Amino acid sequence: MSVRTMARVWDLSIHGGSELLMLLAIADFADDEGRAYPAVPTLAEKCRMKARNANYILSALRASGELEILVNQGPRGTNLYRILVNEEARRPCKPLQPIAPLQPIAPLQPIARTPALHCSKPLHCIADEPSLNHQEPPVGVSHSIFGEENIIEKQETDRKPVRKKVQQMFKTWHDAAMAINQNVFAADDPIHAYIKQLGMNRDFLLLHWAWFKSKQLENTKLQADWLQTFRNSVKGNYGRLWYRTDDGIWKLTTAGKQVALEHGFDESMTSGGRDPWGTYT
């Protein structure tokens, strides 16, 4: 081991980390002139790394100019290493280029007097009359030449005001309807025509209403049109209360018979039955 070579590595090497550790490991075997010939596995073991990584670092040191490697020039065919770290090998960094001074800010141009004498003439004269394809502003808002909005009266139309339906729970709607009329469905409601078109007796409609009402009275869901909700329920047969046989007869399913027993209907009813003008209470 050469203390002089190791001191040169400590003081003059530009490397750090694994590269510096590898140079120090070689210096531990070197003489005062920086020559050494340890095997690559020995250097790898000394630096606590694999031989493949050691070869990679040796190549990097060789490329930097701080290590000379003479392949198979050492004893018994080993590589001969020569540490080239010295004062001449140090490459000081080039000084940075001086920063160019900031250019002075150009002064603002004086504002032209009114009227400006050097302004170019306009390309076209302003038309006295509006063009034929001029679009009128929408009714209700107009704009002045200064961009300010002028509110003008809206034109009267024949459209009737649309009354927005209020969403409410079924029980609220049902109680309000019952307070006015004992029958929540009008006689000309389209659901009657739909049932008639299917060839179904209105008993089935009354049964479906009884099932629908029992389901919705405890429901807190809000709807704007409970009549339409019921119509959709009938058309979709949501309760699966009935079915139609191959010969066109409407009968109750097992679920429909259970609902009929719960609400006082004939569980064996078919497409015929009671008074077709029953009320929906």
Tokens describing residue 152: 């003008």
How large is the greatest C-alpha to C-alpha distance in the chain, in angstroms? 124
DSSP string, 76-99: GGPPEEEE--STTT--PPPPPPPP
Say which residues have a Cβ less than 8 Å from residue 153's Cβ, sequence separation at least 6.
none
In total, the chain counts a number of residues equal to: 281
* Backbone angle region of 64, left / alpha / beta, with phi > 0 → left and psi within -120 to 50 → alpha: alpha
Contact 187, 258 (CB under 8 A): no
Who contacts 36 (Cβ-Cβ below 8 Å, separation ≥6)? 26, 27, 29, 30, 80, 81, 82, 83
Residue-level pLDDT at 179 = 81
Instruction: Evaluate the CA torsion angle 132, 138, 144, 147 in order and state its sign.
Output: negative
CATH number, domain 3-83, options 1.10.1200.10, 3.40.50.2030, 3.40.50.300, 1.10.10.10: 1.10.10.10
Give pLDDT tens digits along the chain (281 positions).
778 888 888 988 888 999 999 999 999 999 988 899 999 999 999 899 999 999 999 999 999 899 999 988 888 888 899 999 875 544 444 444 555 566 666 666 666 565 555 555 555 555 555 544 545 444 444 443 334 444 444 445 556 666 667 899 998 988 888 887 767 777 788 888 898 888 888 888 899 999 999 989 988 889 899 889 999 999 999 989 999 998 889 999 999 999 999 999 999 898 764 444 455 55
Could you give phi then psi for residue 174, rounded to 5 degrees? -65, -45
- Domain boundaries along the sequence of the chain: 3-83, 170-263
| Residue 201, pLDDT score | 83
Edge to edge, the sheet with strand 35-36 lists 35-36, 80-83, 67-70
CA distance 240 to 255: 7
9 C-beta neighbours (distance < 10 Å), count: 23
- Provide the terminal-to-terminal Cα distance of the chain, rounded to the nearest Å: 111
Helix (H) or strand (E) holding 170: helix 170-180
| Res 258: pLDDT | 93
Cα 111 to Cα 106, 118, 122, 205, distances in angstroms: 15, 12, 20, 86
- What distance in Å separates the CA atoms of residue 194 and residue 198, rounded to the nearest whole number? 6
Q: Are 12 and 90 in contact (CB under 8 A)?
A: yes
Q: Give the helix ranges, DSSP H, for 29-154.
A: 40-46, 51-64
pLDDT of 248 reads 86
